[in-house]
Amino acid sequence: MKEEEYNFIKRFVDKRMRDRMIMELAHESDIEKKHGKEYVYRNRYRYKAIQRFNSIRTIIPSNFIYLATQDLTEQEAEKAIRGSGDLYARAHMICDDPADGKDFSLREGISVLYNNYGTSILICGENIALVKEEACYGAPMKYILFRKS
């Protein structure tokens, strides 16, 4: 588990779920080589942890939800995140996708998040995160999480 993921769980997730989320996210995908080809097997524990963010209000206290809407565009999300405080040079992605565990610039990370149909979390520093629920019917809910230092 990367340090950004650990800090995100410790800062935002409800106390009763923290240990389970840390344990589940710590399991990385398995890479197996057969006949000269690489096969990536998603770990079911990490997948479960990511899927828990589909019901975000059950694991994130409501006082950390800065904005919750379906109509948030990429440009509005970037503007809101940049206006919320200090950012790191890189944003860290958690998702059930090949982009899982990778670092991006803020603009690039938001673009990847919006183009992913599954549940995605973009950690934009210690105090800010952007979460998008899975796209099932219509526009998915998007949440900007903010916690004062």
What is the mean pLDDT of the segment spanning 111-116?
92
pTM for the whole thing?
A: 0.88
111 and 51 Cβ atoms separated by less than 8 Å: no
| pLDDT, tens only, 64-79 | 999 999 999 999 999 9
Q: Report percent pLDDT > 90 for the chain.
A: 53
- In this prediction, residue 8 has a pLDDT band, given cuts at 50, 70 and 90, of very high
29 pLDDT above the threshold of 70: no
DSSP H or E segment with residue 95 = strand 91-95
| pLDDT, tens only, 46-61 | 889 999 998 899 999 9
- Residue 33: its pLDDT value, please? 72
Q: Residue 28 carries which DSSP code?
A: P
- Residue 28: its pLDDT value, please? 74
- Residue 2: its pLDDT value, please? 86
- Residue 135: its pLDDT value, please? 80
Distance between CA atoms of 142 and 99, rounded to whole angstroms?
18
Residue-wise DSSP of 40-78: EE--HHHHHHHHGGGGGGGTS-GGGEEEEES---HHHHH
DSSP H or E segment with residue 104 = strand 103-104
